[in-house]
Amino acid sequence: MFKDNTVFVVGAGASQEFGLPIGWELVDIIRNNCNFVVEFNNLKQGSRPIFAHYLRIFGTQDATKVEELNLRLRVSRQIKDGIDSADSIDEYIFRYSHDPLIAEVGKLQIAYAISLAESASKLSLKKGFVENIDSAHNTWIWAFFKALINGVKANELDRIGQNITIICFNYDRCIEHYLEHALTKSFAGLSLDDARKIVKNINIIHPYGSLGGLDEFPFGLIDGFPRMAGNIVTWSETVRDLESVNNMRHAIWQAERIVFMGFAFANQNMKLLDCEAVETNENCPLVFSTGYGLQRETKKALSENINALYSNGEALGQLEKIHFQYDAKCKEFFDIHRINLVQ
């Protein structure tokens, strides 16, 4: 089992090992999918499934509904033209927080892109993941899972994950999906339904929502993307969800260890994690972070930003408790630090 009060903060780099897009890749996918070119009701460019969805909703007969369709195509082209100036689709949607149509179109694009990526990932059911679960052994989740169940007896399965929190900034369900099936393989007679209950009891927080529960929206399902879009949450919506924000910040404040995996330390994400402490946490946690793509020259600034999450900024003497594993992706990071995280 992991040591008590360990918090994992998971970013896009962690899901990339499964074949999901990181921020700039998702931006590129959405830009291309938003490039709608229509001639005589025939789509020449852009995402055909999204265009087909709009046709089903609005049709081509009622002039008022056709204008609603055209409005969404114009918004899509606006996103296409401007999204390159944002680090992520979330940031672009935040830029237009006053415009609900940007959020609507953006969420639909996210849901389609991520559901398609799940379907094509290493964890895809149509690729035989369940029968060949070891196809994910070359990713971080295998080492994570072994640590998660280490020391757990078969008659104590309700203990799994009860001492940790996972804050996952990704829309996909890779973690939940893998854990469910890995549990059924590891404990004889455990049904998928029972494994799903165990995973649901782990404190897994998706600040920006996800494609939805795996019981309602199976992993890799693409056709349901319009309904999945309703589960996506914008940054502005997350800020207003005080229960979710307080849950995250409480976990950070109580943490004895914080592990950042594939996380880019974007300002808006850091603000969500910030406990807004008015006093220094005397028990500043040990912090471990993957460092792939990070420059050593940024260590001081990043360490101070991390320290500020759980202190009022006065605990700078605790910066030596923050460790970056430079040039390491999540799997290599876990291979190195597993012994630092397990009881």
Verify that 146 and 195 share a domain, yes or no.
yes
For the chain, the domain total comes to 2
Q: Is there a domain that residue 59 lies in?
A: yes
Q: Has residue 1 been placed in a domain?
A: no
What is the span of the domain harbouring residue 170? 6-20+125-341
**Same structural domain for residues 158 and 79?**
no
Q: pLDDT at position 129, please?
A: 93
Q: What are the tokens at 82? A: 């401007």
Q: 98 and 56, same structural domain?
A: yes
Instruction: Judge contact between 161 and 12, C-beta under 8 A.
Output: no
Residue 81 sits in the same domain as residue 169: no
Long-range contacts, stretch 27-33, CB < 8 angstroms, 24+ apart: 27/83, 27/84, 27/86, 27/87, 27/88, 27/89, 29/113, 30/79, 30/83, 30/89, 30/106, 30/109, 30/110, 30/113, 31/79, 31/80, 31/83, 31/84, 33/109, 33/112, 33/113
- Residue 99 belongs to some domain of the structure: yes
Among 71, 104, 120, give the residue marking a domain's end.
120
Regarding whether 93 and 163 lie in a shared domain, the answer is no
pLDDT at position 281, please?
Answer: 67
Is 152 within a domain? yes
In this structure, are 255 and 227 located in the same domain?
Answer: yes
Residue 81 and residue 149 share a domain: no
Per-residue pLDDT of the chain (343 residues; tens, 9 = 90+): 999 999 999 999 999 999 999 999 999 999 999 999 988 778 999 999 999 999 999 998 999 999 999 999 999 999 999 999 998 999 999 999 999 999 999 999 999 999 999 999 999 998 899 999 998 999 999 999 999 999 999 999 999 999 999 999 999 999 999 999 999 999 999 999 999 999 999 999 999 999 999 999 999 999 999 999 999 998 888 888 889 999 999 999 999 999 999 999 999 999 999 998 767 667 789 999 999 999 999 999 999 999 999 988 776 778 999 999 999 999 999 999 999 999 8
- Residue 203 placed within a domain: yes
Rounded Cα–Cα distance for residues 338 and 148 (Å) = 11
Q: With beta carbons less than 8 A apart as the criterion, state whether 274 and 249 touch.
A: yes
